């Protein structure tokens, strides 16, 4: 190389070095400038930076400057909302991550050989596959396979065929586009895409898992899941128009947690994290008093009764006598003119004030017995009677009253008047022991009948007993004796009936047992004692006998169940429906009820059934009550494990319903048996126990029928509902017992389940 070439080469090298040195100096100066001059700006401390985390920031002059491009903002970190459980630890409401299924195909190149090479890198090749790259037809075939798999996976939730998925995947991957396949609507759990769905898609063996997962744009967010569908949903609560109701609202302070936050500076749309950070505190878990098994019984029976009698609405509550724990509460409203579809939208039991009708006669009976030492010493008129009332002027006024038109006067002891539910008889008993309207009201107040109380579902309003009436208003005085012209909530009625079952101790209904944070108990709740003893013990004992006589007595309005397998006691109620338009009572439309407790001799549960706007009288409420009694007590009996000798072992009773794996584990623990089961299905059928303690028959997993619908035959209603709603189906329940027949889904994706014993 000659000297001239060397000089030219060295010159170019020095020029390059010079340029690099100048560039390096520029970078150093720029860094120092940013670090010194702009440090306050990037730290959010500059006067040119608008701090939106301070109160009143929107009133500052800088907030009105359109050229301001530096802001300090708070990036809120949302905590996980706590779960809600029933009394046995089953989840009633839980937070779940849902996603929008979007594929970002911009990483996938589409030009000829390069397109194939890219796919060749991203598709898992069979070890025996020798080709150097995949052809376009092979790639299209792979997309087709994935599209068919997605159709099979999502077909129970989305009405999309395989061609839809193939078109979307092709558009994303071949056109390098961002394509939305499914959107998760938080208010429609049938549209949710959850973790299991994402795992299914990303684990599909055709595409490279990591690369394909990076191509999914998911937009994750939280939604509230009710695993058991509509069971107790209004009580548990849900979000509507961005507002919670039910326990979700009342216990929101515990459930919502404490949001975290992290400050950041935004300079020209560039985010710069700051050091200040507060981690979110997840919400606490709420453990309710509800029992899903009892809830299922009550809700099914209420629905069945309402639908069969075309009722407007109804409610039912089951309460533990000693503890006040509400084991079940259902409120159903007719959602169509044909009265075939009912839904929980309003908490009637706690909030709706209605005329109680004859169930209020228990309050009058207590008032009478508390001022009567011998209730068999005197007879009173029943069926019909002419009352003579002395006015303040001294003039006598006559009022003729009858239980039903055309009835003639008869006389009977108080217990017969109560059994017959005689309005005339009950009023005569009160008039005999009380000076007037105010004297009677004072007695009701002293017994706690008119009290108000707080529940975890809100405050139940005090009964409206018309305190403004004149003392000489005979009609108001007469009507209040049997629950007419006044109003109270169904749960208020249940509360004092429960007090009679509880030997006079009146306690408020309890819906929440405790608040849990991990393994720590934050709070425990016990029922509020409203009255340690609402009246004399002898009064309570006699009242209990009167309530039993309604079922067992010769004239009892519920005597058709006097020989029922499980005894109960209570009082019927029938009241005409008030028509707002005519401002009068509709004689052919009734509200009917039955309130009482069971078993009659040793009360364990109290219950009220209230049904509004039906043609029939209280017998339908008695029927519903009796069916609930039988099923709840049968459920209690099933909890006592029985063994039956079969020579070589023991078996469960013939025709037993399906048993979940969790239930099976409990049964085996109670019987101290070994597991003895090889497979691990969700449900077991026709179980047997060998001498060695193993279950003899092969376990059978939940199957799918020819329409790919879960086969729920022989399952309990609660298990069947859970299984079907998990797959996206709605359910209608007919009858009681276990599932004997299931229909194909209708156009609304609803499956009708027919139950039988």
Question: What does DSSP say about strands 50-51 and 70-77: parallel, antiparallel, or unpaired?
Answer: parallel
The yes-or-no verdict on residue 126 having pLDDT over 80 is no
Phi, psi at residue 482, to the nearest 5°?
-125, 30
Q: Which of 138-147, 159-168, 285-294, 727-736 has the highest mean pLDDT?
A: 285-294
User: How do beta strands 458-460 and 453-455 pair?
Assistant: antiparallel
- Contacts with 64 (C-beta within 8 Å, 6 or more apart), sequence order: none
Higher pLDDT, 409 or 640: 409
Buried b (16+ CB within 10 A) or exposed e, 151-165: bebbebbbebebebb
Strand pairing partners for 216? 103
Buried b (16+ CB within 10 A) or exposed e, 726-750: ebbbbbbbbbbbbbeebeebeeeee
Percent share of the chain, pLDDT over 70: 79
Helix, strand, or coil (residue 713)? coil
DSSP state of 698: P
Can you tell me the mean pLDDT for 347-357? 93
Contact (CB, 8 A) for 74 and 255 = no
Alpha-carbon distance of 189 to 276, in angstroms, equals: 37
| pLDDT at site 109 | 46
Instruction: Give 565's DSSP letter.
Output: S
**What is the tens place of the pLDDT at every residue in 187-239?**
777 788 888 888 887 776 555 545 555 567 677 778 888 888 778 888 888 77
The predicted pLDDT at position 287 comes to 95
Give the confidence band of 648 by pLDDT, cuts at 50, 70, 90: very low
**pLDDT at 393 (0 to 100):** 76
- Spatial separation of the C-alpha atoms in residues 549 and 532, rounded to whole Å: 26
Token pair for 721: 């509902």
Residues 596, 497 contacting (CB under 8 angstroms)? yes
Banded pLDDT at 477 (limits 50, 70, 90): very high
Q: What is the pLDDT of residues 699-716, one digit of tens each?
A: 344 456 556 678 887 777
Residue 661 is predicted with a pLDDT of 57
With contact defined as beta carbons under 8 Å apart, do 277 and 262 qualify? yes
Provide the pLDDT for residue 656: 42
User: Considering just the CA atoms, what is the radius of gyration of the chain in Å?
Assistant: 36
pLDDT at 456 over 50: yes
The pLDDT of residue 335 is above 90: no
Mean pLDDT of 111-139: 45
CA distance 198 to 707: 24
CA-to-CA distance for 121 and 133, rounded, in angstroms?
9
> Contact, 625 vs 570, CB < 8 A?
yes
Q: Is the pLDDT of residue 738 over 60?
A: yes
Which of the residue ranges 84-93, 237-246, 272-281, 413-422 would you say has the lowest mean pLDDT? Answer: 272-281
What does the mean pLDDT of the chain come to?
80
Instruction: Kindly state the DSSP code that residue 235 receives in the 8-state scheme.
Output: H
Confidence of residue 697 (pLDDT cuts 50, 70, 90): very low
pLDDT in tens, 397-424: 999 999 988 889 999 999 999 999 999 9
Whether the per-residue pLDDT at 680 is higher than 70: the answer is no
Out of 96-110, 242-256, 357-371, 484-498, pick the least confident: 96-110
Residue 613: strand, helix, or coil: strand
Q: Which residues contact 479 (CB under 8 A, 6 or more apart)?
A: 485, 486
Say if CB 708 and CB 728 are below 8 A apart.
Answer: no
Q: Per the omega criterion (within 30 degrees of 0), is the bond before 204 cis?
A: no
> For 731, how many CA atoms within 13 A lie in the half-sphere containing its CB?
32
| Tokens standing for residue 306 | 């309402």
94/340: higher pLDDT: 94
Cα(406)–Cα(383) distance, integer angstroms: 9
Quick one: tokens of 65? 């400057």
Rounded to an integer, the average pLDDT of 269-281 is 71
Among residues 233, 289, 224, 197, the alpha carbon closest in space to that of 81 is found at: 224
Give the residue-averaged pLDDT of 647-675.
50
pLDDT given at position 127: 41
Q: How far apart are CA 246 and CA 232, in angstroms?
A: 10
Q: In what order do the strands lie in the sheet with 313-320?
A: 342-343, 326-334, 313-320, 605-614, 584-598, 569-579
To the nearest 10°, report the CA torsion of 160, 161, 162, 164.
Answer: -60
Side-chain-side CA neighbours of 671 within 13 Å: the count stands at 27
Q: 66-88 as b/e, with b when 16 or more CB fall inside 10 Å?
A: eeeebbbbbeeeebbbbbbbbbe
Give residue 46's pLDDT: 63
CA distance 615 to 553: 26
Helix, strand or coil for residue 301? Answer: helix
Lowest mean pLDDT, pick from 51-55, 365-369, 518-522: 51-55
Of the given ranges (52-66, 160-174, 564-578, 666-680), which has the lowest mean pLDDT? Answer: 666-680
DSSP string covering 374-405: -TTS--EEESEEEEEEE-TTS-EEEEEEESST
Local confidence band at 108 (pLDDT 50, 70, 90 cut-offs): low
pLDDT band at 131 (very low <50, low <70, confident <90, very high): very low
- Reduce the DSSP state of residue 755 to 3 states and report it: strand
The predicted pLDDT at position 705 comes to 59
What pLDDT is recorded for position 128? 40
Contact 389/366 with Cβ under 8 angstroms? no
Highest mean pLDDT among 9-23, 557-571, 651-665, 684-698: 557-571
Domains with residue ranges and CATH for the chain: 100-219 (no CATH), 292-637 (3.40.710.10), 642-701 (no CATH), 717-756 (no CATH)
In this prediction, what percent of the chain has a pLDDT beyond 90? 38
pLDDT of residue 742: 83
> Per residue in 14-33, pLDDT tens?
788 888 888 888 888 777 76
Phi, psi of 683 (to 5 degrees): -135, 150
**Cα dihedral 516→518→519→525 (10° resolution):** 0
More confident of the two residues 664 and 190: 190
More confident residue, 652 or 60: 60
Question: Which has more pLDDT, 75 or 594?
Answer: 594
pLDDT of residue 511: 96
Q: Which of 422, 348, 436, 325 is nearest to 389 (CA)?
A: 436
Q: Name the residue with higher pLDDT: 175 or 590.
A: 590
What is the C-alpha separation between 469 and 455, in angstroms, rounded?
Answer: 30
Tokens representing 592 are 């009917």
CA dihedral 261, 264, 266, 269 (to 10 degrees): -70
Provide the pLDDT confidence category of residue 130 given band limits of 50, 70 and 90: very low
Helix, strand, or coil (residue 712): coil
Contact between residue 755 and residue 738 where contact means Cβ atoms under 8 Å apart: yes
Give the residue, 623 or 406, on which the prediction is more confident: 623
Can you read off the two tokens belonging to residue 58?
């929107």
Average confidence (pLDDT) over 102-123: 50
Residue 54 burial by CB count (10 A; 0-12/13-18/19+): exposed, middle or buried?
A: exposed
- Statement: residue 448 has pLDDT above 60: yes
């Amino acid at each position: 190389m000659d000297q001239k070439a060397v000089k030219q080469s060295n010159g170019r090298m020095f020029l390059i070095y010079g340029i690099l040195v100048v560039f390096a100096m520029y970078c150093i100066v720029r860094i120092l400038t940013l670090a010194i001059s702009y440090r306050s700006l990037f730290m959010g401390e500059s006067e040119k930076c608008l701090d939106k985390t301070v109160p009143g920031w929107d009133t500052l002059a800088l907030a009105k400057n359109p050229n301001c491009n530096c802001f300090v903002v708070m990036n809120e970190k949302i905590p996980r909302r706590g779960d809600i459980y029933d009394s046995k630890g089953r989840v009633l409401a839980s937070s779940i991550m849902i996603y929008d299924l979007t594929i970002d195909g911009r990483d996938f190149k589409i030009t000829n050989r390069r397109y194939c090479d890219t796919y060749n890198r991203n598709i898992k090749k069979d070890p025996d596959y020798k080709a150097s790259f995949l052809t376009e037809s092979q790639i299209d075939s792979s997309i087709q396979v994935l599209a068919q798999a997605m159709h099979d996976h999502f077909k129970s939730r989305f009405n999309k065929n395989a061609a839809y998925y193939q078109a979307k995947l092709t558009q994303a991957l071949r056109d390098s586009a961002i394509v939305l396949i499914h959107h998760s609507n938080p208010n429609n759990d049938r549209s949710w895409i959850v973790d299991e769905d994402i795992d299914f898609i990303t684990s599909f063996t055709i595409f490279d898992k990591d690369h394909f997962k990076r191509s999914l744009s998911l937009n994750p967010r939280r939604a509230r899941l009710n695993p058991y569908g509509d069971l107790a949903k209004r009580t548990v609560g849900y979000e509507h128009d961005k507002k919670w109701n039910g326990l979700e609202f009342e216990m929101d302070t515990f459930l919502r947690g404490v949001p975290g936050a992290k400050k950041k500076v935004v300079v020209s749309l560039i985010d710069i994290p700051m050091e200040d950070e507060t981690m979110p505190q997840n919400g606490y878990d709420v453990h309710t008093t509800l029992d899903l098994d009892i809830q299922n019984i009550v809700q099914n029976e209420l629905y069945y009764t309402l639908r069969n009698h075309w009722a407007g609405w109804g409610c039912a509550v089951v309460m533990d006598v000693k503890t006040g724990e509400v084991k079940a509460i259902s409120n159903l409203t007719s959602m169509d003119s044909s009265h075939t579809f009912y839904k929980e939208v309003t908490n009637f039991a706690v909030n709706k004030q209605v005329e109680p009708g004859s169930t209020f006669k228990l309050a009058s009976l207590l008032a009478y017995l508390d001022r009567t030492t011998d209730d068999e010493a005197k007879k009173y008129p029943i069926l019909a009677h002419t009352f003579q009332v002395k006015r303040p002027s001294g003039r006598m006024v006559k009022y003729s009253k009858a239980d039903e038109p055309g009835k003639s006067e008869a006389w009977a002891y108080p217990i017969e008047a109560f059994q017959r539910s005689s309005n005339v008889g009950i009023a005569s008993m009160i008039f005999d022991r009380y000076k007037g309207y105010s004297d009677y009201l004072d007695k009701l107040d002293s017994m706690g009948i008119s009290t108000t109380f707080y529940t975890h579902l809100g405050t139940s309003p005090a009964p409206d007993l018309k305190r403004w009436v004149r003392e000489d208003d005979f009609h108001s005085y007469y009507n209040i004796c049997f629950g007419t012209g006044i109003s109270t909530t169904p749960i208020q009625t249940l509360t004092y009936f429960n007090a009679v079952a509880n030997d006079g101790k009146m306690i408020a209904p309890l819906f929440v047992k405790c608040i849990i944070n991990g393994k720590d108990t934050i709070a425990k709740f016990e029922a509020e004692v409203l009255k340690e003893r609402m009246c004399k013990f002898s009064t309570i004992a006699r009242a209990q006998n009167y309530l039993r006589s309604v079922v067992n007595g010769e004239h009892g309005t519920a005597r058709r169940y006097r020989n029922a397998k499980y005894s109960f006691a209570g009082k019927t109620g029938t009241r005409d429906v008030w028509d707002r338009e005519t401002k009068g009572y509709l004689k052919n439309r009734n509200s009917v009820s039955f309130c009482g407790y069971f078993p009659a001799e040793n009360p364990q549960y109290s219950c009220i059934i209230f049904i509004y706007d039906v043609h029939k009288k209280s017998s339908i409420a008695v029927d519903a009550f009796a069916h609930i009694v039988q099923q709840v007590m049968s459920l209690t009996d099933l909890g006592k494990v029985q063994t039956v000798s079969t020579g070589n072992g023991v078996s469960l009773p013939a025709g037993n319903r399906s048993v979940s794996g969790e239930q099976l584990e409990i049964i085996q623990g109670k019987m101290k048996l070994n597991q003895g089961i090889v497979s691990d299905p969700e449900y077991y059928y026709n179980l047997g126990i060998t001498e060695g303690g193993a279950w003899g028959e092969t376990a059978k997993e939940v199957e799918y029928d020819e329409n790919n619908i879960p086969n729920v035959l022989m399952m309990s209603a609660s298990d069947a509902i859970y299984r079907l709603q998990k797959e996206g189906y709605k359910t209608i329940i007919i009858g009681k017992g276990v599932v004997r027949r299931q229909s194909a889904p209708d156009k609304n994706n609803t499956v009708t389940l027919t139950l039988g014993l």
